[in-house]
Structure 1
């Protein structure tokens, strides 16, 4: 059973499933049924895969600085840094993107939206 007990747990589990494990089926366990506001996060995940093919290297994604603020009884906003790390030709490079996630408690917290900042 997926842990959606709090917005920070749901956000972290969603991001682990989507960008670290790259398991969209598992990510859906932590997201709203309406995926329309998640297109930017799915695009981010696809961009990482495209970059890996271009660079012929594995890119790891780190979840950092996850901060959640409740905006109502059943709503919350999370800010998080997603850091991409790759080593090409012996040189380690990283790029950090700041994201804002929208979460809703629907009988358990779920990620319902994501925008890069």
Structure 2
């Protein structure tokens, strides 16, 4: 096959010999190109070492998706609901603590406990409230006997007897205490004047989350 010479030499290539040394692979391949065209054409003369094609500009990352107004409203709503729930729970807890403090009997000292116990046990006859002032295993048979005697008089004479405590003398020894006191039993008379029977007692206490009565003895 004939060879034509010009700006570059073309050499016939035997397809069965792709590595024929007569072929100069370093020579550019001439191809026509339109003026003003920046695209690389097939067969364009390209200098050796120049990368083929124009570098593509770097693509900026897509902007973050905008929050939909509905999603924003839901977020605000859930936040407000969470705050409201927290406030409600705090209010309930505060109310419970306040109620406990208001309903909890005062057992700050043996004498204070004794005054409240006598009122609940002898006058109100409220066994449940009286139990708030008793220890876990009380021995109060003497008090039960005194109350039974008072009830018998009330039934016999159709009267209401009241009891008060006075002359309290505490003796505290660590977590235990004894209180000597007088129980004043006021018995209504037909004259309209109460007769008062004074009974001397000794009450025994333990400090178990507050002073609680555990025993009692009538003296004399």
TM-score, normalised by the number of residues in structure 1: 0.90
Match of residue 16 from structure 1: 119
Partners in 2 of 1:48 and 1:23 — Cα distance?
Answer: 15
Matched, 1:101 2:207: no
Matched, 1:81 2:172: no
Structure 2: where are the runs of 5+ without partners?
A: 1-103
Q: Secondary structure of 2:137's partner?
A: coil
Partners in 1 of 2:114 and 2:213 — Cα distance?
Answer: 6
Match of residue 151 from structure 2: 49
Match of residue 141 from structure 2: 39
Match of residue 92 from structure 1: 194
The range that moved more, 11-20 or 74-83, is: 11-20
Partners in 1 of 2:168 and 2:148 — Cα distance?
Answer: 22
Aligned alpha-carbon RMSD (Å):
1.3
Q: Any conservation in 1 of the 2:140–2:215 contact (CA below 8 Å)?
A: yes
Quote how far apart the aligned CAs of 1:94 are. Answer: 1.8
Report the number of matched residues. Answer: 115
Greater share of strand: 1
Structure 1 outlier segments of 4+, above 6 Å? none
Partners in 2 of 1:46 and 1:63 — Cα distance?
Answer: 18
Match of residue 3 from structure 1: 106
Structure 1: where are the runs of 5+ without partners?
A: none
Rg (Cα) greater in structure: 2
Q: Which fold has the larger relative contact order, with Cα–Cα distance below 8 Å and residues 6 or more apart in sequence?
A: 1
Q: Secondary structure of 1:85's partner?
A: strand
Partners in 2 of 1:94 and 1:10 — Cα distance?
Answer: 23
Partners in 1 of 2:106 and 2:196 — Cα distance?
Answer: 30
Q: Secondary structure of 1:4's partner?
A: coil
Quote how far apart the aligned CAs of 1:6 are. Answer: 1.3
